[in-house]
């Protein structure tokens, strides 16, 4: 009876050691996953920050381009008015002759 109990305890010990080994392997695998996920999250945050900076840069460039367009449209309008005045003056001078 004692031998049977000893055999049973040895079997349970062996099984527990196998379970511990399996759990340690799972821990290692899960720690690796956590590390990969942390790295992926850090990289995603870095990319997000870069994209935000690029967006701000592009928005700034867009505002500058729109301002330049507005300025050029005003200049064009002013020049068109001057041209019309010059044409009118020329027409007036030609009609006086």
Mean pLDDT of the chain: 97
Domain boundaries, the chain: 1-96
- pLDDT at 28 > cutoff 90: yes
pTM, to two decimals: 0.61
Of the chain, the percentage scoring pLDDT greater than 90 comes to 98
- pLDDT at 97 > cutoff 90: no
- pLDDT at 17 > cutoff 90: yes
SS3 sequence, the chain? CHHHHHHHHHHHHHHHHHHHHHHHHHHHHHHHHHHHHHHHHHHHHHHHHHHHHHHHHHHHHHHHHHHHHHHHHHHHHHHHHHHHHHHHHHHHHHHHC
């Amino acid at each position: 009876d004692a031998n049977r109990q000893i055999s049973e305890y040895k079997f349970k010990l062996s099984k527990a050691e196998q379970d511990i080994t399996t759990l340690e392997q799972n821990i290692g695998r899960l720690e690796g996953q956590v590390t990969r996920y942390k790295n992926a999250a850090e990289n995603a945050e870095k990319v997000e920050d870069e994209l935000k900076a690029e967006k701000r840069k592009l928005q700034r460039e867009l505002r500058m381009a729109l301002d330049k367009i507005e300025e050029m449209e005003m200049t064009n309008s002013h020049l068109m008015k001057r041209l019309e005045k010059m044409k009118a003056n020329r027409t007036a001078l030609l009609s006086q002759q």
